[in-house]
Every structure is written in structure tokens, then in C-alpha cells.
Chains A and B, each alone.
Chain A
Amino acid sequence: ETGVTQSPTHLIKTRGQQVTLRCSSQSGHNTVSWYQQALGQGPQFIFQYYREEENGRGNFPPRFSGLQFPNYSSELNVNALELDDSALYLCASSSNGPYEQYFGPGTRLTVT
């Protein structure tokens, strides 16, 4: 059984650019959540996908968008990058149950 994987590990982008981050969920998990973790803070919920449909969204602007694919892998897209978007982006997969949420190692995005 493989865990949650994310790519790339690190990314440096310029303000105004667009970025796509990828997540492969744990085998058997049909739900993927994305979180943003700024330095020194806890993860902040961006949105969740369940069976390819957005199933909840946090307080993030529309330039944060996502996709989930039939194999339950997922993408996070961020348009018009801002300096404050610099953070660790975490993907978590789950299936049934409120506690079963497994996080990937994250993608560290730096916007200059």
C-alpha cells in the first residue's frame, strides 16, 4: 500500500505566474483535501474533492482551483500568484470516517 505522494517537492515561481501541484492519493481513498500551511501556522483548508466533485471550500479566492481524476489523484492550480501564496501545500486523502486523513509530504512553493 503506497502512501500519499505529492509533486514537485519544491517550486519557485514569480508573482503573476500560474502553478499546478499534483497529488496521488492513498490506495482506496476517494476523497482528497488540499491545505495551505504558511510558515509557523497550522494548515488552512483550501477545498476538498470527493469522487471528482468539489465537496467543500475554505476561505480562498477563485484563483485557487482544483481537479480530481477518475483514479482519485488530484491537482491544485493557483493563478496570478501573489507573494503571500508562498507556503507548504499539503494534500490529504481519506475514505470513510472522520479521522482517517493521511497527509502527503507537501510541496513547498516560493513566490518571488
Chain B
Amino acid sequence: QKEVEQDPGPLSVPEGAIVSLNCTYSNSAFQYFMWYRQYSRKGPELLMYTYSSGNKEDGRFTAQVDKSSKYISLFIRDSQPSDSATYLCAMKDTNAGKSTFGDGTTLTVKP
């Protein structure tokens, strides 16, 4: 079983929809949580990050972490065609060192 499981998708939504992307994890030592966006043939780009449990909002994006359930989410409001990409969740147990990634959810936002 993988340490990080991500809803596989793919996900296709109309423009303006609210999108929910989710990951679960098994390692209770994870305390740094990140969401990356990866466009086709590009490297991942850091989108949001949170430490421990709680919510963080940045424009149309909200990241939520529930450590008691080992569950994290990324919400995208008023989705745009430019949001079409693969979204990767990632987690770390220490300040330095490796990030453990989910396998990504591919999102398509249709005009």
C-alpha cells in the first residue's frame, strides 16, 4: 500500500465549477503538506502549502488538512480552463528531506 493515495480522476468540470481534489495518507509523521500543479511536459509547480492541521486560502484556492483523519484536500473555486493540469499532493515528515507524492489527479475545465 502506498503511503499517499490520491483520487485518481480524471476529472472534467465546466468552467466556473468548484473542484475538490483529495489525498489520504498513512504516515502519521507527515506534518508538511503541499499541492503542486503540473502542466503537460513541465515540472511540478508549488501551488499551496500548509503545516499540520487547518485551512489555508489563497485567492481561488483553499487547502485543508485533517491530521486526525489523515486526509487533505484542495478546493478550486470558479475554475478556469487555465486550471486544466495534473494536481499532485505531496507530504514531508521533516523540514528537509524527501517529499512523498500522490500519483496525481488530472483536471480538465471545459469552457
- Say which size band chain B's interface belongs to: 20 to 34
* A residues near B42, Cβ cutoff 8 Å: 105-106
Tell me if B59 is interfacial: C-beta within 8 Å of chain A: no
Residue interface mask A39-62, B partner, CB < 8 A = 1: 011111100101000011010000
Tell me if B60 is interfacial: C-beta within 8 Å of chain A: no
Determine whether the beta carbon of A90 is less than 8 Å from that of B98. no
A35, B101: Cα distance in complex, Å: 10
Shortest distance from the beta carbon of B31 to any chain A beta carbon, whole Å = 9
* A residues near B88, Cβ cutoff 8 Å: 42-43
Smallest CB-CB separation from A46: which chain B residue?
B98
- Say which size band chain A's interface belongs to: 20 to 34
Determine whether the beta carbon of A102 is less than 8 Å from that of B46. yes
Tell me if B43 is interfacial: C-beta within 8 Å of chain A: yes
Tell me if B92 is interfacial: C-beta within 8 Å of chain A: yes
Determine whether the beta carbon of A58 is less than 8 Å from that of B43. no
Determine whether the beta carbon of A55 is less than 8 Å from that of B46. no
Shortest distance from the beta carbon of A73 to any chain B beta carbon, whole Å = 16
A103, B36: Cα distance in complex, Å: 10
Tell me if A104 is interfacial: C-beta within 8 Å of chain B: yes
A102, B44: Cα distance in complex, Å: 8
Tell me if B99 is interfacial: C-beta within 8 Å of chain A: yes
Q: Provided the pairs A42-B101, A42-B102, A45-B100 are in contact, do residues A99 and B34 lie with their beta carbons within 8 angstroms?
A: yes
Which residues of A does B touch, CB under 8 Å?
4, 31, 33, 35, 40-45, 48, 50, 55-56, 58, 90, 92, 97-99, 101-106, 108
| Top 10 closest pairs, chain A to chain B, by CB | A42-B101, A103-B43, A45-B98, A99-B49, A98-B32, A42-B103, A98-B95, A103-B44, A41-B103, A105-B43
